[in-house]
Amino acid sequence: MLDGAEGPNAAPFTRERIARMYQYLASIGRVYIIEVREGESYTPVGDVALSERMIPIVIGDARWRGRGVGTAALQEVLELARRLGFSRLTAHRIFLGNQASERLFARVGFRRDRTGVDDEGHGYGVWVLDLRDP
Ligand SMILES: CC(C)(COP(=O)(O)OP(=O)(O)OC[C@H]1O[C@@H](n2cnc3c(N)ncnc32)[C@H](O)[C@@H]1OP(=O)(O)O)[C@@H](O)C(=O)NCCC(=O)NCCS
C-alpha cells in the first residue's frame, strides 16, 4: 500500500506518523473511512480524504483491492465535492506506474496535468478534475 501511496520502497509509517498524517488531512479537509458491507456488518477497508489540495485514497486491506471499492468511494467523494461547491480537485501525487491509481482517477474523470520527480527520484503525475465541466 505504501509503495503505491508514498512511492516505491517507502519505509513503514510509525504510529506517530500515522497520527500526524490524519491530523494534517483533517486540518485541510475531511477524512472518511471506507467500509464494505458484508451481511449486516460493516468492515473498514481503507480511507479517503477530500480537500482541494489533495485527494488521497487507499484500500488498506489488499483483499478488497481491484473490486470496485476505490471507484465507488471516489465517486461518492466527488459528489460531495460538487455539493460543497468545489470547482477543481487535484490528486497531487500519483506515482508513474501505479496503474491501479492512474486508472482509478482517469475512470472518474481526472486527467494528468503535469509530471514531477520527488526527492527520492520517483516520477509522479499531478492529476486534476474540473468539476465545472459538464
Ligand atoms: C489505488 C487504489 C485506491 C484503487 O482502488 P481499488 O478499489 O483497488 O480500484 P478499483 O477496483 O475501483 O479499480 C479502479 C481501476 O483500477 C484498475 N485496477 C485495479 N487494480 C489494479 C491493478 N492491480 N493493476 C492494474 N489496474 C488495476 C481497475 O481495473 C480499474 O480500472 P478500469 O476502470 O479501467 O477497469 C487501491 O488499489 C490502493 O489502495 N492501492 C494502494 C495504495 C495506492 O496506490 N493509493 C493511491 C495513491 S495516489
Q: What pLDDT, on a 0 to 100 scale, did the predictor assign at position 134?
A: 66
Q: Report whether residue 47 contacts ligand 1, using a CB cutoff of 6 Å.
A: no
Closest Cα to atom 26, ligand 1: which residue? 100
Mean pLDDT of the chain: 96
Q: Report whether residue 107 contacts ligand 1, using a CB cutoff of 6 Å.
A: yes
Q: What pLDDT, on a 0 to 100 scale, did the predictor assign at position 132?
A: 87
Grid coordinates representing 93? Answer: 501525487
Whether the pLDDT of residue 133 is over 80: the answer is no
pTM, rounded to two decimals? 0.95
Closest Cα to atom 34, ligand 1: which residue? 103
Whether the pLDDT of residue 93 is over 80: the answer is yes
Q: Report whether residue 34 contacts ligand 1, using a CB cutoff of 6 Å.
A: no
Q: Which amino acid is at 128?
A: V
d(CA 101, CA 7): 12
CATH fold of the domain at 2-130: Aminopeptidase (3.40.630)
Q: What is the mean pLDDT of residues 9-15?
A: 92
Q: Which amino acid is at 113?
A: D
Cα-to-centroid distance, 32 and ligand 1 (Å)? 18
Q: What pLDDT, on a 0 to 100 scale, did the predictor assign at position 58?
A: 97
Model confidence at 90, pLDDT cuts 50, 70, 90, reads very high
Closest Cα to atom 1, ligand 1: which residue? 101
Cα-to-centroid distance, 134 and ligand 1 (Å)? 25
d(CA 120, CA 10): 10
Q: What is the mean pLDDT of residues 121-128?
A: 97
First CA to last CA distance, the chain: 33
